[in-house]
Each structure stands twice: as C-alpha cells, then as structure tokens.
Amino acid sequence: MTEQETQHASSSEGGASTDSIDAFPDPAAEGAGLGVFGRFLTIWVAAAIVAGVALGQAVPAVPETLARYEYASVSAPVAVLIWAMIFPMMVQVDFGAVVGVRREPRGLLVTTGVNWLIKPFTMYAIAWFFLLVVFSRFIDEPLAREYLAGAILLGAAPCTAMVFVWSYLLKGDPGYTLVQVAVNDLIMLVAFAPIVVFLLGVSDISVPWDTVLLSVLLYIVIPLAAGYTTRVVLIRRRGGEWFDQVFLKRIGSVTPAGLIVTLVVLFAFQGDVILDNPFHLALIAVPLTIQTVFIFFLAYGIFRRLRIRHSVAAPGSLIGASNFFELAVAAAIALFGLQSGAALATVVGVLVEVPLMLALVRYANATRHHFPEPVRA
C-alpha cells in the first residue's frame, strides 16, 4: 500500500472550510479513448454493408429465413441483435446522477433545450429541404420520404454511450456528463415517441401510434428497465468496483459487435436498394452532416455566450450533435421494415458519425481558450 504524506492546506470558500491535498495518480488511464474499432468505425460499417449486400445476393435464403421469424411486425432475430446493442449502453446509465441537476443548471438547460426543442425540428427541416427539394431529381419522392423518416428518427434520439468517450477526448467534466446523459435518457423515455409521431405526421408519413409505442417499449423501456435492474442487483451483490471493472469490461465489446452483425443482416435485406441506388448513400449523408455541424455550433455558440466552462460546454454540444443511432436503426426497422429507406438512412448516420465527431472534437479542443478558465480547487 502506498501511504502518502498528507499535505493539508486549509482554505475558505464562501464561508465553507475545505482542505486540499496532493495526490499522484498514474498518468495513463488504462485503455481509455476511442480505440482502434471506434477510430475506424466508418471502415467497419462500410465492410458490413458490402458483406451484407453480398450475403443477401449470394445466399438469398438467409434474409428469407430471418424474415420468417417475425411477430407483430418485429423480426425476432433482429430484435435480439438490437437488444445486444442497446442493453450494454443502458446498463451504464447511472440514473442516480440526476440528483445533480441543480449543479450548473445553465449547462443542462442548454443541452436539453437544444436536444429536445431544436434538434429534432432542424433535422426534419434540413433533411426535408435536401431530400425532397435539392435532390428531387435524383431520388423518387416516396423513397425520399422514407429517407426523411430515417433522418427524423436520428434527430429524435441524442447520443447516450459515446458521449463519455467524446467527453474524455475533450477533457470534459465526466461527472457532469453523467448527469447530462441520465437526464437525456429520462427525457427520451417520454419525448421520443411524440416527437417522432408529430414529425412523421408533418411529413405525410403515417405510422400507427401502437407501432411507435411498441418500438419504444421494445427498444427503450425494456432495455432501460433491464439495464437499470441489472445494474442495481449486480452492484448490490458484487459492489460498484466489480461492476465497473469486471462486468462492464466484459460486455464492452457486445455493442460494437451487435452493431456490425445487425448491419450485415440489415444489408442482406437491403441489397437491391443499394445496388439500384448506390449514390443515395452520399446524398443522404449531406443533410445528416449539415445537421450535425449546425447543432454542434449552435450549442457551442450558446455555451460560449453564456460563458460556461469548456469542460461542460464541449461535451454538452456533442451530445446533441451525435445521435443514438442504435435506437434510430431499431425504430426504423420496427416502423418501416428491414428493407425500408428509413432503415438505410439511419445507417448512413452511423457511417458519418465518427469522422465527423472527431473533427468537431479537434475544433472544440483548439478553441478551448474562448471559454472561461475553470475555477481550480
């Protein structure tokens, strides 16, 4: 055991007496950061698309067999894959952190305001403008509306798990990120379905409420409840340290693996759509990229104007800029089917996510000096 000499330095802040002490943590945080898989995600996703299309064309029995296991418009194998993607994320959400909402409330107000009052609607407007107006010569209207539906689903679900990695790369305040993620996920429980139904209605895309509610139940409520229960039970039985260092490490690769397998399956169904319109992937990427950059700069600008510290501002801006695309993919499949343009559009969100977010991380790190210095302890 390393027993260090305590160095007390009493100070007084607002009448509250505090002590400070020197500590010497190891400068290398084990395995932290984006990692090889994350850094090259675009390549893995592109490879999954090629593999999926090839599989569907070479062995058509695969998608045909998978399609047989469908109950109430939900493909059972795909549902299992989606749970494999979403559950490991939900099990990490620490809902106890919401008690910290009173801490720096302006930061939370900006993030939640941008995420829920602005982002879904700008996504709709930007995607509608490009897919149904600018690109109308290249995309038939019915298909453009399906792509628009996919974009709407992406816009209605802000990022959950990846925020921690972005926050780490931005030197963000991880404790505050915990609060932001917990609050966003709670809002998502009640706001996702009404926003999606409203925006799809505005787009003349009718989906039955019960189908939307079923997808919310299957892909938000059930994984969230299962994740929360698993977290509480395991921490009570084995302790928080074991949960974080052993359990979460063990399931860490399940989400990325589930994502790649889901994409292969999805594109086994999507082969004809892709082969008929390979150019559409690039067209869909345009509004999604513009929306991501716009939302980032909007939130970042508001944070800067409010003079909120960078370690809160930068991760807060990236939560809205990036999407909970696993949920969007799941909802698109549940609402429109595996062969739909909506499902394809949500996957384009995955394709552009990492390179775009890394560029925004670099920009945010380079402009840190525009924000007030944090108050040192």
Partner 1 sequence: MTLRLTDGAAEHLAGRPLVVRASLRNGCCGGSAPVPVAEIGPPTDAASFTVMHLGGIEVHVDPRLGPVDGLVVDVDGLWRWRRLRVECERPHDENR
Residues 1-20 that bind partner 1 (CB under 8 A): 1-4, 6, 8, 16-20
Only one of the segments 37-45, 211-219, 280-288, 293-301 lies at the binding site for partner 1 (rule: CB under 8 A); that segment is 37-45
Nearest CB to partner 1, comparing residues 65 and 245: 245
Q: Which two tokens stand for residue 63?
A: 């998608």
Only one of the segments 126-134, 167-175, 271-279, 340-348 lies at the binding site for partner 1 (rule: CB under 8 A); that segment is 167-175
Strand partners, 11: 18
Select from 143, 144, 165, 334 the one that contacts partner 1 (CB under 8 A): 165
**Of 184, 182, 123, 187, nearest to 155 (Cα)?**
123
Select from 38, 113, 337, 355 the one that contacts partner 1 (CB under 8 A): 38
Query: Interaction with partner 1 in 77-106: which residues (CB under 8 A)?
Result: 85, 88-89, 92, 96-97, 99-100, 102-103
Query: Interaction with partner 1 in 225-244: which residues (CB under 8 A)?
Result: 239-242, 244
**Of 49, 268, 276, 263, nearest to 140 (Cα)?**
276
- Cα torsion 210, 211, 214, 220: sign: negative
160 interacts with partner 1 by CB under 8 A? yes
Nearest CB to partner 1, comparing residues 129 and 242: 242
Query: Interaction with partner 1 in 298-327: which residues (CB under 8 A)?
Result: 311, 325-326
Per-residue contact string for residues 344-363; x = within reach of partner 1 by CB under 8 A: ------x--xx---------
First to last CA, the chain: 26
Residue 29 and residue 169 in contact, taking contact as beta carbons nearer than 8 Å: no
Pairing state of beta strands 74-75 and 11-13?
unpaired
> How many residues make contact with partner 1 (CB under 8 A)?
80
User: Distance of alpha carbon 126 from its chain centroid, rounded?
Assistant: 19
- Separation CA 211–CA 331 (nearest Å): 9
Q: How far is the CB of 285 from partner 1 (least distance, A)?
A: 17
Only one of the segments 133-141, 174-182, 215-223, 271-279 lies at the binding site for partner 1 (rule: CB under 8 A); that segment is 174-182
Nearest CB to partner 1, comparing residues 27 and 142: 27
Q: How far is the CB of 35 from partner 1 (least distance, A)?
A: 4
Query: Interaction with partner 1 in 175-194: which residues (CB under 8 A)?
Result: 175-178
- Separation CA 220–CA 225 (nearest Å): 8
Nearest CB to partner 1, comparing residues 36 and 72: 36
Q: Which two tokens stand for residue 44?
A: 């893995």
Per DSSP, 72 falls in state T
Nearest CB to partner 1, comparing residues 61 and 375: 375
Q: Which two tokens stand for residue 53?
A: 């299309």
Nearest CB to partner 1, comparing residues 146 and 353: 353
Cβ neighbors of 301 (< 8 A, separation 6 or more) are none
Q: How far is the CB of 30 from partner 1 (least distance, A)?
A: 5
- The C-alpha torsion from 149 through 152 and 153 to 157, rounded to 10°, is 180
